[in-house]
A and B are shown apart, each in its own frame.
Chain A
Amino acid sequence: MSVTKRPKKSRYLIPIFGGMLLTFKILLKNLFSRKKMLTLNYPEEHYKYGPRFKGNHILTVKKDGSLRCTACMLCATNCPANCIRITADEHADPNVEKYPISYEIDILRCVFCGYCEEACPVDAIRMGPEWQTAALNGSNFVYDIKHLAHRENLKGGVQSVVDDKERHKAGI
């Protein structure tokens, strides 16, 4: 821990003028070259985060458009915030066997740690680039399958790297 001594009372005007100098320097700089300005006009302009940014979750889909998730519950088990809730059921296709009939993420409880993404054995859940999670109603923050996999800005869903048919062909 570092301890700083307070400046003596008689000298407090000097730092104030120093601060004002800095403020005016930046003000004048921004006034004359607006392109180099650091702040954003937020609702109109957006900051672009890197590709590894961990934002809102995406459930990936297979080539036929069905969910990749096998409802193994490893993400829910690994989740430190306990915000994932899955109900599994029997799938008609014996090669798929198990699939989620409901998959809910309480995004207000989520801490965006990315453990779900890491626990997933089949690349079924990813953390996407979205980060604006405004909603009018509290219940809108519980994301269901429709939102997680098929929301509009995903444009038909994100395809999973591992696909069932390829997996079976490879003999795994």
Chain B
Amino acid sequence: MKKMIKCTINNYPVEVEEGTTIIQAFKKLEQEIAHYCWHPGLSIAGVCRLCMVEIEGNNKLQIACNTVVQDGMVITNQSQKVKDTVRWGLEFHLINHPLDCPICDQAGECVLQEQYMKFGAYQPLMSEDKVKKRKVVDLGSKIVLDTERCILCARCTRFTDEISKTKELGIFNRGDRSEIGIFKNKPLENDYALNTVDICPVGALTSKKFRFQQRVWYLKKAPSVCTGCSTGCNIDVYYNEEGLWRIRPRHNSSINQYWMCDKGRETFKHVNPSGRLKSSFRHTAEQTEKMTTFQALQTLKLDSKKIGLVLTGSYTCEEYDAFLDFFQLHSIYHWKNNPKNFEDYDNFLIRGDKNPNTKGLLESINKRQLKLEDCTQLEQNISHLDLLIVCAPENHKLYPCLEEKINLFLKSKELVWISPHSHTLLQKPINTVWTIPSKTYFEKTGTFINHHGTRQKIKAVASIVDSARSLEEIIHILKTGQTDLTQIASIRDKMKTNYFMEQKGSL
């Protein structure tokens, strides 16, 4: 254990580990301190000169990010001297910054904007014209750069140097002409590139997909866990009444630190109301019958049938427990997204297992000592089954073998497809197919177990499709035949009212 040392910050005494920098001590105390270039996940650059603090007994001001706390230090950033320095530092940053906040996509979550409203908001003293630089520079398929807005904090270049280790970005030219850029024919295309957009304190780097889609102050955020792969990165989901708009990483020191991969950022589209399965259907060769989920589960006769159960790793542990307890089968078929590269790992975050809860599925099955079989065995056994229940993956895009597997499932006498989405192949079957809408990770409460075995709770944020039911709720309906799920306290607590609208009310 490291030695603890005492210091005083803004008149608050605090005890920190030896070797802690002043800015970390400020963050520990939750005291406000201005900073652009310092990021807890990156190395120290000390270029923005905004985190100035006054240390007692020290004539000159010091930068908090690169000064180590020593025993008995008395530190403040509330003095007039510090405030003046920050104000002048800001004036220097704004010499060439266009201050085009109305057009800028970062407005609302921009550190520079916040600082300007707090310390700035004055007439600039600079009499020279602003240096014009390149705008809307294409850095690749994901990111757009605006060199005018850039304040050269070098967070993005440090990210590509230290975290992704791809080294695409660099600072070119000198003086007031220096700007961020890429090398010739080497676009910023690595799998973690969009993290640079998150860490950019201003609107210099913007994501092409999210750019101009929404103003950030219209969005609410809710904590969740990424369902893109079995790493289980902690995320914040940004949403409003019209749907989900983006995903950003949330800090978790033991799993993803401050980062997440670009593929994980796209795992919100399948949650949005368009394209979702809105009610249950019974498809036969002759006709398609629309019904409520309750009706479908009532007409579905499970007694004295030989049932096969196909599970994927995209449901919560609680759902697996409820499902396995109800059906009491000896063997379960496990549908993997891609058996060949299922164990892949890129040594940082991305894993080949594209399910958030494969570990949870295995745990639930091992607890009951059931046999887990591969989908290849289903091919031989499918003719013996009367009914095949498929708990299909939440996000169909992550399953390249989807159509091939659906064709296999359609060979069964009766198929129950539980998923947030349907598929065109399911709508014109030879035998009977039931499609039942299920909830996505945004709408249900439960536990995911990631690849390392860490249990992570997710909480329902809002309901998006009213008729969608989680596996727990489906089992409850099958067991009791009760429509009103609000009667059960355990389920009622997890239910949320629908916050979304498909169209704004107009004439």
Contacts and interface: CB of A to CB of B under 8 A. Distances in A.
A74 B102 contact: yes
B208 to A, nearest CB: 9
A139 B215 contact: no
Interface stretch (B7-15, B74-82, B129-137, B353-361): B129-137
Nearest to A73: B215
B487 interface: no
Interface in A47-98: 70-74, 77, 85, 88-90, 94-95, 97-98
B136 A138 contact: no
A69 to B, nearest CB: 10
A15 interface: no
A63 to B, nearest CB: 19
Contacts of A122: 102
B507 A97 contact: no
A75 to B, nearest CB: 11
Given A74-B102, A122-B102, A171 B135 contact: no
A90 B507 contact: no
A98 B506 contact: no
B212 A121 contact: no
B202 to A, nearest CB: 15
B212 A142 contact: no
Contact of B102 (A72, A95, A108, A139): A72
Given A72-B103, A85-B504, A139-B507, A77 B212 contact: no
Contacts, number: 44
A76 B213 CA distance: 14
Interface string B67-104: 00000000000000000000000000000000001110
B217 interface: yes
Given A73-B215, A89-B212, A138 B103 contact: no
Contacts of B134: 94
Interface residues of A, number: 24
A43 to B, nearest CB: 25
Nearest to A119: B102
A141 B197 CA distance: 40
B220 to A, nearest CB: 15
Interface string A155-172: 000000000000000011
A98 B134 CA distance: 16
B102 A70 contact: yes
B102 A138 contact: no
Interface string B178-222: 000000000000000000000000000000000111010110000
B129 A171 contact: yes
B129 A94 contact: no
B462 to A, nearest CB: 20
Nearest to B504: A85
Contacts of B218: 73, 77
A72 B213 CA distance: 11
Given A108-B507, A139-B507, A94 B135 contact: yes
A123 B382 CA distance: 69
Contacts of B215: 73, 77
A106 B506 contact: yes
Interface in B26-75: none
A70 B103 contact: yes
B179 to A, nearest CB: 15
Nearest to B146: A97
Nearest to A168: B132
A94 B136 contact: yes
A171 B127 CA distance: 11
Interface string B94-124: 0000000111000100000000000000000
Interface of B: 101-103, 107, 129-130, 134-136, 211-213, 215, 217-218, 504, 506-507
Q: Lowest 3 CB-CB distances: which A-B pairs, in order?
A: A72-B102, A171-B129, A138-B507
Given A89-B212, A95-B135, A138-B507, 18 more contacts: A70-B102, A71-B212, A72-B101, A72-B102, A72-B103, A72-B107, A77-B218, A88-B213, A90-B136, A90-B211, A94-B134, A94-B135, A97-B136, A106-B507, A122-B102, A139-B506, A141-B507, A142-B507
